[in-house]
Structure 1
Amino acid sequence: MDTIKGNLGRNTGIIVAIVICIVLCICIGCYVAGRESAERDANIQRIQSTQQQLNNATKQLDEAARENQSAREITADSVVINDRIEQRIDSSETAVSRSEEANARARAAVAEAERIITVAKSTATESERIASNSKSILERAITRNQRTAIEAEKK
């Protein structure tokens, strides 16, 4: 044992250097392992963050797709409604044209009726005048017949 102690005493500097090297190697190993672990943790966090961003982007894309589909449906409905409105406008234009034509025919009929009424009034006035003249002629004829009858009795 003395030899071991003697060897240890002589080689203390070497042993201390070896122990320091071993401790230094352990420290460097721990530093490198910690650094790699930190890099892995950072990479894992980046991956998790990227996955979260991808999940959020996927959700936003899904929502955008739903909104896009909704917009398409609304647009399709709007096209159908606009077509119906256009048809109704065309029908209204046709009805207005027909109404204008009917009004023109009604105006012509009213003008013809007024002309007929004027002619009828004129004819009625003429008929009254003729009737009055006929009555006068008839009264004169009766008077003449009575005179002729009286003269004939006298003869």
Structure 2
Amino acid sequence: MKWTKFIISLAIPLAAGAIAGTVTANNVNTWYPQLNKPSFNPPNWLFGPVWTILYIMMGIALYLVWTKPASHIKSRAMALFFVQLALNFIWSFLFFQWHLIGMALVDISILWIAIISCLLVFSRISKPAAWLFVPYLLWVSFAASLNAAIYMLN
């Protein structure tokens, strides 16, 4: 049963990332190059590997929480995990598919709060799960500043 939970825990964020990545890939070579971007914009090839690693870390964190005994705090942690994953997923559509840079900035700001909330609740259940969210929080902080800069420049 634990292997099944582990595989499902990895598959959920990786699947969300793969779908969002498809939306991103369709626009990263067409619409995105036309935008004015800040000097700190990383090369496009960096995003795929970073997000893959982050989705794997998210999946491991989910597994560490999911395998703990049932409790109110665990239920809250699981709900927060799926809220932040949904916000993460929606961002790609807002930004890359629908070109709503401002709405994407609102979404990523709410996502940032959701990640912090998830990290804090995870820390009450599993310290390693919480630590696995730290690189994600840092990357989304960077992504939010990049989103804000692109919004201002365009």
Q: TM-score of the superposition, structure 1-length normalised? A: 0.19
Larger Cα-atom Rg: 1
Q: Which has the higher contact order (CA 8 A, sep 6+)?
A: 2
Q: TM-score of the superposition, structure 2-length normalised? A: 0.20
